Chain A
Amino acid sequence: MNHQAVGESLATPGDRARALFKVMNDKKLIPEGYIETFIKHMEHDWDPSNGARVVAKAWVDPVYRELLLKDGTKACEQFGYTGPQGEYIVALENTPKLQNVIVCSMCSCTNWPVLGLPPEWYKSFEYRARLVREGRTVLRELGEDLPEDVAVRVWDTSAETRYMVLPVRPDGTEQMNEEQLAKLVTKDVLIGVARPRVA
């Protein structure tokens, strides 16, 4: 009879999180307002609309595009989109024949300030295991069926570089302004599993 297993089954992940919080709080380890500020960053400040603004500017401004590809950190810093898990940023340039896709096969590393926190599916065992080996198939299953002549290049976030994908500007967007262009750039486009679509 394994009593430990029985006990464990009674505690939920939420119970554990609250227990750790209480023990840390009782020990006065949590500075006043620290968690509230961090929640504000996670829920409001770090958002894929940030990356979308960066992409839209790169589409309309050749000088900015060059900076983004040469020094992604500096380009994102212009908007204030750097911070924890976004201190060394590299933008990956798609071409009509190349689709870059981002993963973190060993955990969940993501460019937080530019893309927002990683979504559940990106942290899933399925995505972490399969993308590096069968990227084209995974993209097809997710809804992006790439032509055979488009190469898929997977970037595994294994160190301190935090990536963002710079997609190809779709045809039929010549009349759009930056704000309209940014709306085409979703979180999934920035991760690289989707291409921007003109509705």
Chain B
Amino acid sequence: MDGIHDLGGMQGFGKVPHTNNSLSYKPVFHEDWEHLAYSLVFVAADAMKLISIDELRHAIERMDTRHYFDAPYYDRIIIGTATLLVEYGAITKAQLDACLGTDFKLARPYASSGRPAIAERSPFEVGEIVKVRDEFVSGHIRMPGYVRGKEGKILHRTTVKWPFPDTIGHGDKSAQMQSTVGADRKLSQFCR
């Protein structure tokens, strides 16, 4: 999905709001509700076994562009979790609205039904030069746009396989398992 979440390489942003080693990182949470974001999504994924974290990522990607850009990080987690719970019928939007006392704005509906995993091919080996597929996927995908069609060298092949995000990110639990690779881009404009 070529959405606003795919920020890698985008220009026009100012300085990162940080100076090295200036924070103690305690407390972990700065507002009294922030702990709820990860807690509630793990209730849905781990305790209820209802959703995958891939679906959460995709739900957040499905937020209206302005909505996404306007909402703080933990707010996006809450909105994504609420969207999935409503879509699965575990709760209703009416209940959320009643509880909030106003419209509880959710993410937009799926624009795509996802896609099945690409048939298993022989795995790449470390050192091989590979090319990222030059394809456009309107559903969930874990390929940042800046590597599309680019060549790079394999530095690592995972020893574990995981469900294909383009499938499981749409709630399809039949997602085929695949290993992933870490690649080093040979891109002068990205390697300054």
Contact = CB atoms under 8 A, between A and B. Distances in A.
A187 interface: yes
A61 interface: no
Given A16-B79, A29-B48, A161 B39 contact: no
A48 B24 CA distance: 10
B180 A19 contact: no
A53 B96 CA distance: 44
B19 A143 contact: yes
B90 interface: yes
A30 interface: yes
A132 B9 contact: yes
A153 to B, nearest CB: 7
B6 A7 contact: no
Interface string B54-92: 000100100000000101111100110110010000110
A78 B138 CA distance: 41
Contacts of A193: 20
Interface residues of A, number: 76
A18 B36 contact: yes
Interface in A124-153: 124-130, 132-138, 141-144, 151-153
B17 interface: yes
Interface size band for B: 35 or more
Given A13-B72, A35-B39, A124-B16, A160 B32 contact: no
Most chain-B CB neighbours within 10 Å: which of A11, A38, A39, A43? A38
A43 B35 CA distance: 9
B78 A105 contact: no
Interface in A64-89: 84, 88
Nearest to B165: A159
Given A19-B96, A129-B11, A134 B192 contact: yes
Nearest to B67: A8
Given A23-B96, A105-B7, A142-B16, A159 B75 contact: no
Interface of A: 4, 7-8, 10-11, 13-24, 26-27, 29-31, 34-35, 38-39, 42-43, 48, 84, 88, 90, 103, 105-108, 116-117, 119-121, 123-130, 132-138, 141-144, 151-156, 158-161, 186-188, 193-194
